[in-house]
Structure 1
Amino acid sequence: MALWRPEIIGADNVPEQGPVILASNHLSFIDSVAIPLVSPRQVSFLAKEEYFTGTGVRGWVSRTWFTSIGSIPVDRDHARAAQESLDKALAHLRSGGVFGIYPEGTRSRDGRLYRFRAGAAWLALEAQCPVVPVALSGTAALMPVGARAPRIKKFTVRFGTPIDVTRGYGGLPAGLARRRVSDAIYESVLAMSGQEPAGAYNERQADA
């Protein structure tokens, strides 16, 4: 990791114990490697089930790597994939773990910050755990789309002030509470990242 000289800001904002969500912008495939490597606690992301089921040397390397960084396998093509993903994430949080999520849903292809979907907010409200907004910068150059290996580029990971969902949201209708928590996370990430707001939701690409 020292080879890439990452700048890490606000790591002490991550609670030392208990369940917590790290909600980040998403610029590159390498984001799910960068955050676990610099986080003060082990953080688990969802990962395609194919990364755990490959054969041969390549399959072993993939399975070993994603297991080592605590990734949670999920079948994204299953009819209930979205709910299964949330269920697995919620179980991880209820066990006291740290879960990483990209509320944009998939990576930004143009560098803008897309609207956040409600999954992170739903998890936080269900688990009654804090959300630490995370802003990445430089990872798109670190590993651009189509690159086979990371380049030697500096990148920055900023951990923001935790959002306490146990205060100010309890008396609201469920849908409104999720929207307000999502907006709070979005505004924090937007302020830290300096990205241009896209004003729309991002759609999953075939290779995202």
Structure 2
Amino acid sequence: MQRDGIFAGDNPFQIARDWLAEAETGELNDPNAVALATVDPSGLPNVRMVLLKDITDTGFWFYTNYESAKGQEIAASGKAAMVLHWKSLRRQVRIRGDVVKEDGPEADAYFASRSLKSRLGAWASHQSQPLESRTKLMAEVAKVTSRKGANPARPPFWGGFRIVPVEIEFWADGAFRLHDRFVWRRETHENAWEIQRLSP
């Protein structure tokens, strides 16, 4: 099966990194924005936008409040899916797989790299929980600011998740809606990838 041009390569993570790097030069806003899909305990899907923070050869990384709806749904199922879509490139990458919680040094380092206001906001927000008013939220931020100071540590309820994919699909727009699609699949993380071209 011939895969050349933007689809060439033996490492799907590197292809994804290359596409993201290309998007960073042309996509106007948040080229690392991804739609993250999870399911609730009844099996009802949930999807929301989050920011992808890294693509390594071990998976796709993002950070959130573990007590949020997505955090709880991931904890319950251990699985998630995401899609990166770049309108400027007319391309997308779809990822499905198991999720690993990352609350060690990488999470500490990323939290420390965020702006002070974002770090304080992470402490103040009970993400996904009912909120009486914005005034109440800002009051909580003020309280946290006085308690935590100028260098708050990462909250124990906030950190990283890494999707370890068993499926990665690369999609590029084609003339007359005859798109190019290649999917990389493996049964487990230890298995070798199998690659197929899919009909548009």
Q: Which has the larger radius of gyration?
A: 2
TM-score norm. by structure 2 comes to 0.27
Q: Higher helix fraction: Structure 1 or Structure 2?
A: 1
Indicate the structure with greater strand content.
2
Normalized against structure 1, the TM-score is what?
0.26
